[in-house]
Amino acid sequence: MGTKQHIPRVYINQPILIGDSVQLPHEKAHHLTRVLRASEGASITLFNGHGGEYEGVLAPAKKGEAVVYVQSHVDVDRESPLKVDLFMGLCKRDAMSAALRRATELGVTSITPLITDFSDVSPKQLPSLRAKWLATIESAAEQSGRTRLPKLLEAQPFAEILSAIRDSNAQAFIAHPLGQRLAATRSQDENYVLAIGDRKSTRLNSSHQII
């Protein structure tokens, strides 16, 4: 008995129309044709974060390129009914990538990197890191089946976002190793703000409590 063939999902930041032939960006084309070994006629799923997915097949293309002929649109929504805005302390490269990937897989709505007194990343590095963070989020959305990407906002100093969090209508929580599990709050709200620091920045005093 055969197993169901995995169909690659590819995020592209552009409009998609049925009947179009969409040329994929170089990095996406390389991964599809060189890493996954997809060839002409292979089934591909495209999505652009504006709702649903598009089914298509790899069309003939020059070496090193990948073109998808779009055949149909599937009106599917796999997003959580909860709106979760995550404020996350900046950390070193691998740890940051892992945190962004997991947050995307878990369905957060937006991600705001936080600059704290213990951040391992200099603000000067942020512009060059942003493109890598976006690529990580895209990859996580592709693999987890999400139909929309969490919005990656500009990094903000932790002290400056506290008042905005307090003034929001959402249930706000800050992660702390001595705190209770989120499930224990039994909140029925649909809007949440979660703040979490890197491993060095969990020593937060009472002035930092937002709940």
Residue 116 pLDDT grade (very low, low, confident, very high; cuts 50, 70, 90):
confident
- The model's pLDDT over 4-49, given as tens digits with 9 standing for 90+, comes to 568 999 999 999 999 999 999 999 999 999 999 999 999 999 999 9
What integer is the mean pLDDT of 151-158? Answer: 92
- In this prediction the pTM is 0.85
Check pLDDT > 60 for residue 205: no
Pick 152 or 185 by higher pLDDT: 152
Q: How many CB atoms lie within 10 A of CB 204?
A: 16
Sign of CA dihedral 177, 102, 189, 155: positive
pLDDT of 203 = 45
> Above pLDDT 90, what percent of the chain?
58
**17/72 Cα distance (integer angstroms):** 9
Percent of the chain exceeding pLDDT 70 equals 85
Q: Structure tokens of 138?
A: 């895209």
